[in-house]
Every structure is written in structure tokens, then in C-alpha cells.
Amino acid sequence: RKEVEQDPGPFNVPEGATVAFNCTYSNSASQSFFWYRQDCRKEPKLLMSVYSSGNEDGRFTAQLNRASQYISLLIRDSKLSDSATYLCVVNLHTGGFKTIFGAGTRLFVKA
Amino acid sequence: DTGVSQDPRHKITKRGQNVTFRCDPISEHNRLYWYRQTLGQGPEFLTYFQNEAQLEKSRLLSDRFSAERPKGSFSTLEIQRTEQGDSAMYLCASSGGGNYGYTFGSGTRLTVV
């Protein structure tokens, strides 16, 4: 089992749609969580941190459920420019250091 | 430019040759990371520096790979005796610690022929 698993995608949605991505992690020592966005052939860029209380940044909402070891990202009112791969990221603090990236979920937003 | 810089952007090399990549992190960031990414996968952790100290190395980092950060500023990643399986995007990232995530460079795309 992979340490971080994401919806395989791709997700094909029309402009204006609401889309949700899920991510599960296996290591209960996971301490901090992020969503990154990666455009084709570009580097990943930090989209938002994920907090237990949930957090929102404009059209984007991230949720964390530690009990279920589950993270989600909700995008409302999708734009064409949201088309990208969304990477779920988990930091482990287990004496050493380890940051694990999921394989990503591809999103295509169409006009 | 105050972001993370990587050089070169692209490298094509013949199998068996040695290659070296450079990363210049954001100047005030004391943490520097190297990742490798192949098509359809997320970045895989290779190694991590805090200042000049290499604190963590992945099992992916075989003895053909070596990384340095001699003065706690820029870092180099060397691959000796390259193999076709080394073809990937090599990403460098830096952070100032805490829970703020990373800033990635644009990467070096290595093709071993």
C-alpha cells in the first residue's frame, strides 16, 4: 500500500462545476499536510496547507480528518485555469524527516 | 529573481557518463531538498540538508548519487555512471522550516540515452 494515495483521475469537469479530490495517508505519525498544484512540465507549487479545523482560500477548501487519515480538496466554480495536477503531500516527523507526495490527480476543466 | 534556481534546465547524456546539477535555494532558507519525478508520479524524496548538514537520505539514493551543500548555500547533485533508469526530472526545493511548505525550482530534466 502506498503511503499517500489519491483519486486516480483524470477528472473532466465543465467550467463552473464543483470538484472534490480525496487523499488518504497510512502513517499515523503524519504531522502536517499540504496540497500542491503542478502544471504540465512545470514544478509543483504550494496551493495551501491543510489544518484540522479546515481552511479556505477563495474557491478552494481543504479538510483534514486525522481519525480517518483522510484529506480533501474542494474547488468551487472551476475555471479553465484550474486545469492541472493536484498533489497531496504529507510530512512525517518520526525522529527523521520525510515528506511524501501522492501521485497526483489530474483535473481538466472544459469550456 | 529570488526563487529557487536550478541549472541546467535540460541535460542529455550518454549512459555511463557522470552528470552534476546545481541548485541555488532562496537565500534565507536553511533547508534544501532534492526530489526526483517521473511521468505520472509525484516527486520522490532523495535527500535533505539543513544548512550544510545532510540529515536524511532516501534508499533511492544509491551509491552512484551524491549530494553536497558545502557552505550551506547552493547544492549540487552528482550522478555517476548514469543509467537509462536515471532519466527523470530532478527537482530542488527549499524552505525556511516550520509548516510553510516548500518552494520548488523549475527542475533539471535528465535524459540518459
- Which cell numbers in the block locate residue A86? 493536484
Q: What is the pLDDT of residues A55-71, one digit of tens each?
A: 999 999 999 999 999 99
C-alpha–C-alpha distance, residues A111 and A18, integer Å: 14
Mutate which of A4, A27, A43, A99 to disrupt the B interface (most B C-beta within 10 Å)?
A: A43
The C-alpha angle with vertex A50 and arms to A45 and A53, in degrees rounded to 5, equals 160
Task: Please report where in the chains the cell 493536484 appears, as a residue.
Answer: A86
- Cα–Cα nearest to A72, from A24, A17, A9, A36: A24
Report pLDDT digits (tens) over A71-109: 999 999 999 999 999 999 998 876 566 789 999 999 999
- For B90, name the nearest residue in chain A, comparing CA atoms only: A43
Q: How far is CA B113 from CA B7, B21, B22, B93, B108, in A?
A: 20, 18, 21, 27, 16
Residues A6-21, mean pLDDT to the nearest whole number: 94
Cα gap A60→A87, rounded to integer Å: 14
Is residue B99 predicted with pLDDT exceeding 70?
Answer: no
Type of residue numbered B102: Y
Ramachandran sector of residue B70 (left: φ over 0; alpha: ψ -120 to 50; beta: rest): alpha
Under an 8 A CB cutoff, do A46 and B40 touch?
Answer: no
Which band of pLDDT confidence, cut at 50, 70 and 90, is reported for residue A33? very high
Going by C-alpha positions, the residue among B87, B90, B92, B112 that lies closest to residue B104 is B92
* C-beta separation of A103 from A6 below 8 A: yes
Residues with Cβ within 8 Å of A60's Cβ and at least 6 positions away in sequence, in order, are A35, A47, A48, A73, A74, A75, A76
At B2-36, the pLDDT tens digits run 699 999 999 999 999 999 999 999 998 999 999 99
For residue A99, what are the CA distances in angstroms to A6, A102, B99? 15, 10, 12
Q: In chain A, whose CA is at the least distance from the CA of B108? A: A43
What pLDDT, on a 0 to 100 scale, did the predictor assign at position A106? 96
Residues of B with CB under 8 A from a CB of A: 33, 35, 40-45, 48, 55-56, 91, 99-107
Interface A–B counts its CB contacts (< 8 A) at 45
Residue B59 is predicted with a pLDDT of: 84
Residue of B90, B92, B104 to mutate, testing the A interface (most A Cβ within 10 Å of its Cβ):
B104
Percent helix, strand, coil in chain A (nearest 5)?
5, 60, 35
One-letter-per-residue 3-state SS of A66-109 = CCCCEEEEEECCCCHHHCEEEEEEEEEEECEEEEEECCCEEEEE
A46: nearest CB among B35, B43, B102: B102
Q: pLDDT at position A29, please?
A: 79
Instruction: Report the C-alpha gap between B103 and B28 in whole angstroms.
Output: 12
Q: How confident is the model at residue A51 (pLDDT cuts 50, 70, 90)?
A: confident
Work out the mean pLDDT of chain A and round it to a whole number: 92
Question: From CA B62, how far away is CA A67, in angstroms rounded?
Answer: 36
In this predicted structure, what is the pLDDT of residue A40? 92
Cell numbers found for residue A92: 512525517
